[in-house]
Amino acid sequence: MKSTTLCYIEKDGRYLMLYRNKKKNDPNKGKWIGVGGRIEEGETPEEGVKREVFEETGLTLTSFTRRSVIHFGSDTWEDEIMYLFTADGFEGEIRECPEGELKWVEISSVPSLNLWEGDKIFLSRLTESRVPFLLDLNYEGDRLADYRLRDCGNGIMKL
């Protein structure tokens, strides 16, 4: 099972979104997502998200929060544990991303983008509540077959 990070960087009511259109054999090709990627051996999720955000955007995170841990089950791809973050502080200038096009998108417009069905669930949760949550998403091919969403209360999420 692989471990990954995903971060939605917020500025002036917009998220920095990545349109995945540059890599060959990209399961996310044609989709809009946040920025992030695989956690390297020995990294914490927090170290991984900072590194991945810098690699993909050129930005250095200065204020970010872990919001969820999401399990992706699939009959097609390797299972994945993803640590979901939001960020509201960063330094640096955005540079070209090797994986796709970066664009600031009004948060209210994000649901109208070409997103994975499961992403719509956690993105709506990010705007509705600050309470940490756990989410299990089960895909059959590209179709979301089922999901389970659980609140974690107001405590710090450990996993």
Confirm if 18 and 30 have CB atoms less than 8 A apart: no
CB atoms within 10 A of CB 107: 16
Q: For residue range 117-150, what is the model confidence (pLDDT) as tens digits?
A: 999 999 999 988 888 999 999 999 989 999 999 9
The CATH class that applies to domain 2-151 reads alpha beta
Q: pTM of the full predicted structure?
A: 0.92
Q: For residue range 34-76, what is the model confidence (pLDDT) as tens digits?
A: 999 999 999 999 999 999 999 999 999 999 999 999 999 999 9
Domain ranges in the chain are 2-151
Does 156 score more than 60 pLDDT?
no
CB atoms within 10 A of CB 90: 21
- Quote the pLDDT of residue 26: 82
| Cβ burial, residue 81 (10 Å; 0-12/13-18/19+) | middle
